[in-house]
Amino acid sequence: MAQKAAKQQATRNSAILKRTHLTSLAINLLFAILRFLVFRASCTRSTYLLYFFLSSPAFAIEFWLEKIGRPTTTPNGEVKRSGEDLEAKGLTEYLWDVLYWSWGCIAVASLVGDRAWWLWGVIPLYSVWLAYTTFGGMRQTMAGMAGQDGAAADGGGTSNRQKKLEKRGGQRMQYR
């Protein structure tokens, strides 16, 4: 049972990467079949340029996830390196969000047409919102570390227990 966690991580990463590649293949084949064969009359050169330009982040992210997440094994089947956790929080989670949204835009654009590429503009807006909320959380954390949290805000350092008791009408503290 040596390296049980590494083996589990390697198995999980291999399954995730396989599913990712198959999904990407299916979505891009859907676009190719529908745009090249079915809706050929409505396709222009800009359709193909938009497709290559706006799907390139999905390809780059997929390549990056493959590079960091693919486990390597020795010839006898031992796990040499299990790869990074592809279900990790933070940047990896954000990369998955961008990948899923890009796939959705490709799928909608293959069915609806070129106007669906405007959906791709949500990704930069999401990035700005994520940066703002991350900065806001960091700012609150820094204020708490400096001693500027709840104790100074309520003006007296009353504990939560004391506040609840006073709210219920229980033991009221008399200050002299």
pLDDT digit string (tens) for 57-92? 899 999 999 999 998 888 887 888 888 888 888 888
Please report which confidence band the pLDDT of residue 32 belongs to, taking 50, 70 and 90 as the band edges. confident
Q: How far apart are CA 82 and CA 157, in angstroms?
A: 50
Asked, for residue 122, whether it belongs to a domain, the answer is: yes
Please report which confidence band the pLDDT of residue 149 belongs to, taking 50, 70 and 90 as the band edges. very low
Element (H, E) at 137: helix 122-145
Q: How far apart are CA 17 and CA 25, in angstroms?
A: 12
Q: Which two tokens stand for residue 91?
A: 């940047």
How many domains, the chain?
1
pLDDT at 113: 77
Q: How far is CA 134 from the centre of its chain?
A: 14
Please report which confidence band the pLDDT of residue 112 belongs to, taking 50, 70 and 90 as the band edges. confident
pLDDT at 1: 47
Asked, for residue 165, whether it belongs to a domain, the answer is: no
Question: Apex CA 60: angle with CA 90 and CA 101, to 5°?
Answer: 60
Asked, for residue 15, whether it belongs to a domain, the answer is: yes
Range of the domain at 78: 4-148
